[in-house]
Structure 1
Amino acid sequence: MALTSRVADWQRLGTVERVGGHDIFVRERPGDAGLPPLLLLHGYPSSSYDWRDAFDLIAGHRLLTFDFLGFGLSDKPRDQQYSLRIQADIAEELARRFAGEPIVMVAHDMGSSVATELLARDLDGTLSFAPKSALLFNASMVREQASLLLGQKLQLSRIGPLFARLTTESAFRHSFASIYSPAHPLTPAEAEDQWSLLKHNGGHRMLDKLIYYNQERVTPPTSARWHNALRAWPGQLELAWAELDPICTESVLQAVLALRPDTPVTRLPGLGHYPQVEDPKRAYEIIQRHASNH
C-alpha cells in the first residue's frame, strides 16, 4: 500500500536526516525570536503526523517534530531493540540544533515516556539541551495502572512476533477505532492515513518490536528511574488528560499524581486517546497556553 495523498503531502514538507546512524523523518518550522521552541514527541504506533495541525494552530513558536526510529517515515530496522533510551538519544541529538535555547517539550503516549527519560537525564546532569518545561498528554507513565488493549497484550506475549506478522488493515482499524471517543470517532481518512504510515517499509510486521518499551516501563531499574524523574524533576511539568482514554485511564493519572501531587492537570472530558487528532483546536489551545506561560 502506497502512502495516501495526505501523508505524501506531509512527507514533502519534511526532510530525512541522518541521526544516530539512521534515516529519521523530521518536520520543522521557524519561529519568532524570544519565544521558546517546541519539541513535539508522538506516540505508539503512530508518528509525527499526529502533530500535523500544530503547524497551523500554534502561533509564533519554532516547531520541531520527527518520527521515532521504527515509526512513520523513519527507518525501520528489523534487528533493533526499540528502547525508550534509543528514541531519547534521537530526540536529544535533534534538539541540539536549538543551540542551548530552553525548549518546551510536548509529548503524547510513548512520547511522554521518552520525555521522562529526557527529564531523568536532566536530573543526572547529562542532558545536552535545556528543557524549559514539559506538557505531557495521556501516557502509561505508570504502566502497572494502564489498561492495555488485547492486541497490545498479545504483542507483548510469546506469540507477539506471530501476531505482528498476521496484522491486517481491518484488525488495525478495529483496534485503533476503539481508543477514540464516541463523539470524535476515527474517520475513514484518518484510518487510511495511519495504516499507510504504519505499513510503510513493513512497520506493521514488527509491532511486537516497537512495543518493547512497555517491558522497560515495568522492569527495574528503568521503571524506578522514570518514576523518579516524574517525582523529582525540578522544572515546570503539566499534564493534559483526555478522560475517555481506555488505555491511559484515571488510574494512571492518579498514579502519576501520587508521584508528583502538585502537578497542574488540564482535563479533557469527552476525548479519547488521541486528543490532538480528535479535537485539534482544543488540544492546541492548551499547548499554546502552556508554551506562552513558561
Structure 2
Amino acid sequence: MAVQEKTVTIGKLTWFYREAEPLNPREKPPVLLLHGLPAQSYSWRDVMKTLAENGFRAIAPDWPGFGYSDKPDRRDFAYTPDAYVTALEAFLDELQLSLVSMVAQGFVGSAGVQYALRHPDRVDRLAIFNAPVSKTAKLPWKMKQLGMPLMGQMMTQDPLLVDRTLEGGGGYRVEDGDLDVYRRPFLKSSDAGRSLFTIVQNLKVPAVAAEIEAGLAQWDNPLMLAWGDRDPWLPITDAEALAKSLSGAELVRLEETGHYPQEDWHEKVSDALNRFLRRQE
C-alpha cells in the first residue's frame, strides 16, 4: 500500500503530509497520526501502510516547523501549544475532516491530545503513545538543552541531533536511509534548527500535561494509552497510574520499545492500533 506525499496551503502556512488510502475502506473515520519531537510524519510510514491494508484512511502531517512543512519566523507563528492546536484545527478544516480518530505521540504530538480534549465532538477515538499525560511529566535534559540560549542555538543546527535523540529514546539503531530523511531539513536550511530551538523554548510541558491529565478524566470516547516500556523520559509507571484512575481507558504495554515506538517496533504499534480502532463499543 503506497503512502502518498502531499502539501496543502492554509493562509500563509504550507503543510506537508503523508496519506495512505485503503483499497477497501471501512466505514470508520480517517486516522490522524501526529509525531513528536524532533521527528516527522515519516515516523508513521510503516504504521500507515498497515492501517490502509486494514481498511483505514491514514493521514500524518509534519507539524509546522518540522520535516517538510513550512518553518515560519516566530513573529509569524508562535510555536506554542495553543498555536499548534489552532493550526491543527485549520488543517482538519481544510481537508474537510470533521471526525477523525486521533493518534498522538511524544512532545508536540501532545497538542493533538489537547485538540481532542477541547473538541471531543470531532474525535471518535483517542490513542496516546508516550506523550506527557501526567503532571509528573518533565522535559528530558536531552531535549531541554535544545532550547537553552547559545548552547541550544548551536545544537539545533547540528543534523546529528536527530540521530542522538531518536536513538536515545529507545536504544535502537535507526537505519542510515531513514536518518537521511530526518536529517534532510536540517541540511537544507538553518530554518529547521531555528524552529526547533523556538519550539523547545515554548513547550510548556507542566501546563500541557496538567491540562491533559485533567481533561482525560472527563473524556467519554474510547481511549488507549500505549506505552513503550523502554522510554527513558516518560516512564510507563506514569501511564499505568493514570490508566487506573480513568474509567474505561485501555493500557497497552509495548515491550522492548522506547519513546518513539512507531520507529522502534512499528509492528507492535500497528497491532495495538488495529485492535483499538476495530474494537466495537
Contact 2:65–2:196 (CA under 8 A) maintained in structure 1: no
Superposition deviation, residue 171 in structure 1: 4.6
Closer, same or farther: CA 17–267 of 1 in aligned 2, 3 Å: same
Q: Aligned letter for 2:182? A: Q
Distance 1:170 1:225, change over 3 A: closer
Among candidates 126, 138, 143, match of residue 130 of structure 2: 138
Per-residue deviation, residues 81-128 of structure 1 (Å, max 9, x unmatched): 21122222232223233454x3211111135411221123126xxxxx
- 2:263 corresponds, among 274, 277, 289, to 277
In structure 1, what is the equivalent of residue 183 of structure 2? Answer: 195
1:228 aligns with 2:214: yes
1:291 counterpart = 2:281: no
Q: Please say if 1:95 is aligned against 2:64.
A: no
Q: Is the 8 A contact 2:104 2:113 kept in 1?
A: no
Q: Distance in 1 between matches of 2:154 and 2:246?
A: 37
Indicate if the aligned counterparts of 2:35 and 2:62 stay in contact, CA closer than 8 A.
Answer: yes
Using CA pairs below 8 Å that are at least 6 residues apart, which structure has the higher relative contact order? Answer: 1
* Secondary structure at the counterpart of residue 81 of structure 1: coil
Superposition TM-score, scaled by structure 1 size: 0.81
Label 1:157 to 1:276 Cα distance change in 2 as closer, same or farther (>3 A). Answer: same
> What is the one-letter code of the residue matched to 1:64?
I
User: Kindly, what percent of the aligned residue pairs are identical?
Assistant: 21
Residue equivalent to 1:44: 37
Q: What TM-score do the two structures reach when normalised by structure 2?
A: 0.84
Of stretches 262-271 and 156-165 in structure 1, the one that deviates more from structure 2 is: 156-165
8 Å Cα contact 1:39-1:106 kept in structure 2: yes
CA distance in 1, matches of 2:168, 2:228: 14
Corresponding position: 1:156 with 2:147 = yes
Shift of 1:161: 4.6
Number of equivalent positions: 271
Cα deviation, 1:235-278, whole Å, max 9, x if unaligned, reads: 11111100001111134324533653652111011111221122
Amino acid at match of 1:114: A
Question: SS where residue 206 of structure 2 aligns?
Answer: coil
Contact map agreement 2:31 2:57 (CA 8 A) in 1: yes
On the 8 A contact 1:142/1:255 being kept in 2, the answer is no
What letter corresponds to residue 42 of structure 2 in structure 1?
Answer: Y
Amino acid of the structure 2 residue aligned with 1:30: E
| Change over 3 Å in CA distance of 1:161–1:273 after alignment to 2 | closer
Alignment equivalent of 1:168, drawn from 153, 158, 161: 158
Displacement of 1:20 in angstroms is: 4.5
Counterparts in 2 of 1:65 and 1:230: CA distance versus 1, 3 Å = same
The one of 114, 117, 124 aligned to 2:114: 117
Q: Distance in 1 between matches of 2:144 and 2:64?
A: 22
The one-letter code of the counterpart of 1:82 is Y
Give the SS at the match of 1:145: coil
- Give the secondary-structure state (helix, strand or coil) at the position aligned to 1:139: coil
1:15 aligned residue (6, 12, 24): 6
Inter-partner Cα distance in structure 1 for 2:109 and 2:224: 11
Rounded to whole Å, the distance in 2 between the matches of 1:70 and 1:175 is 17
TM-aligned CA distance change 1:20 to 1:164, over 3 Å: farther
Distance (whole Å) between structure 1 residues aligned to residue 279 and residue 36 of structure 2: 25
Unaligned runs of 5+ in 1: 1-8, 124-128
**Where does residue 224 of structure 2 map in the other structure?**
238
Give unmatched runs, 5+ long, in structure 2.
Answer: none
1:71 corresponds in structure 2 to 66
